[in-house]
Amino acid sequence: MEWTNFLGFIKQYGGPIFAIFGAGFAAFMAGMGSAKGVGLVGEVSTGLVTEDPDKFGRTLILQVIPGTQGFYGFITALIILSRIGLLSGNLKPLTLYQGLLFLAASLPVAFVEYSSAISQGKTAAAGIQIIAKRPEKFFDGVIYAVMVETYAVLALIVSVLMIVNIPL
């Protein structure tokens, strides 16, 4: 393909391509981070539950917490796909500039959710030790893990505000 053909293709279809890529990137990165975070807590929890099966419920609560970032990425992707009309089957004509704006708007969720889910998983995994040694202090571990959530929520808010304010 010649450069002129490629540039013409990007000019004509680049807007929707970059917007859809942004939606996918947000869901992909957040989902990967959540999977890793949830997996970390699961690995640590299995040892404790093997020794004391009654602690399964408490460990499960800590394991679920890093999964929220995956939902934030999914929500962000759905909002982008809805705004560009892909979900209704009426894809709006987007300029390259608009497509790049959607891609840029997905970046806070993509990177912060990935990183915070892994950090939250590590924090929640450390909270499993609290359950093992001092079960009555279970909520201390939950609070530590939930503190990381603050930054995940802030990134979601920033991305959503950016997405809904992109002029179409």
5 in a domain, yes or no? no
Whether residue 1 has pLDDT greater than 60: no
Confidence of residue 4 (pLDDT cuts 50, 70, 90): confident
Q: How many beta carbons lie within 10 A of that of residue 11, not counting itself?
A: 11
For residue 2, is it within any domain?
A: no
- Among positive and negative, which fits the CA dihedral 128, 38, 122, 65? negative
List Cβ neighbours of 54 (8 Å cut-off, separation of 6 or more): none
Domain, as residue range, for 21: 10-165
Nearest to 49 by CA among 143, 131, 140: 131
Say if 38 falls within a structural domain: yes
Write the DSSP assignment of 128-167 as a string of letters.
Answer: HHHHHH-GGGHHHHHHHHHHHHHHHHHHHHHHHHHHHTS-
Cα angle, residue 109 at apex, residues 144 and 101 outer, rounded to 5°: 160
Give domain status of residue 4, yes or no: no
Rounded mean pLDDT of 3-7? 82
Residue 1 lies in a domain: no
Specify the pTM: 0.92
Quick check: is 32 in a domain? yes
- For residue range 143-165, what is the model confidence (pLDDT) as tens digits? 999 999 999 999 999 999 999 99
d(CA 160, CA 108): 10
Would you say residue 90 lies in a domain? yes
Whether residue 59 is contained in a domain is answered as yes
Name which residue leads in pLDDT, 3 or 94: 94
Total domain count, the chain: 1
CATH number at residue 67: 1.20.120.610
